[in-house]
Structure 1
Amino acid sequence: MGDMGGGSDRNLGIVSQDLTDPVRSHKDLDKDAALYFRKAVQFYEELSKQMVNHGQVLDLFASALDQVGVAEMKVIIERTGGLVVLAESFGHPVFRDSFKRVFENGEEALGLSYNGTLEMNCSKDIKIQGIIGPCTSLEKKGPAVASTPIGQGNTTAWKLCGLDKDTCLTVLFDISSTDRSDHSGTLNPQLYIQTLTR
């Protein structure tokens, strides 16, 4: 869990070196004109790999009227299944209520499961395009991988660093046009999808 009161101004993951630097905009990010953005994103991508390997989740609670670098940290929060709470101050009701909700299941547990995996197996007529949700590809290739990826694609297995009762994942499939019918030309009526969770 990270609590931030402003953007990083030193070392890797930097947003700016000085408060007098002009605030970057979405246009700056789109035009690749934000001075430190690319290197900071690369830093958080590498850090996300380490956190995923260890099954860790990054929840970010940020409080600032200025930018704190959430755009740079987006990849690490998404891949680890973390959450972001951004408020004007640490005393703001939205911040306080959100912080309390994380701990509402008591002192001994946060109502989370950690270090899970989701794997999909399906019949030859179905290809897995990908998944949308708080997970990271385990890069498991196979005949069920679709040629057009969507979300976290090009795999049949994903890691979920943290999940709770509200975690939502969407798996996208493609019915293969070349294998839709049997040798007689009729559509194969029996398809299967198997979901393995660990």
Structure 2
Amino acid sequence: MVRSSARERPDGSPFRADMKAVGRQGDWESRSDAKVPAPADIAARLGIAEGELCVRTTYEFLSDGRPVQLSTSWEPYDLTAGTLVVLPEGGPHAGAGVVHRMAAIGVTVSHAVEQPEPRQATAEEASILGIQKAALVTHIRRTYYSDQGRPVETADIVVPAAHCEIVYEIPINRQWLCP
């Protein structure tokens, strides 16, 4: 799994491309719920008040039909309400990803912050992923920010540690270089 801003693609999914590169069929299943009150931890990550409404989307990423990664995404409902992108996997921008969906409503996403940490799988995660309860997983807390500094999406991504290697690609900003 390569984590990189350079992997955002309007024409397809980096996950599908990764699966194809290793000879597997990549896909996902999702379910979105609109107007879900934000729990305290999610509200803090989105910079909103606890209980404010969000769109929550849960994902099971599949390799040859088997779950290999889980994700739960939260977006502030007031940001996308009444637009064609209110549901991440619905409408004309379905599956296009946060950066491209937000651009469709005039919001420029400038960066994302990811915080990976090892932990043990919960019983539910282990059951879905087909791993032992308490097996090691990498939990990534990701938040996308607009160029105005507003968090526009936050997600919890869970990947079994034994099934993949996570590699971060950091683009070099030429302004950092000395003359």
For the pair shown, the structure with the greater C-alpha radius of gyration is 1
**Same fold, TM exceeding 0.5?**
no
Query: What range describes the TM-score normalised by the shorter chain of this pair?
Result: under 0.3
Q: Which has the higher contact order (CA 8 A, sep 6+)?
A: 2
- Larger strand fraction of residues: 2
TM-score (norm 1): 0.22
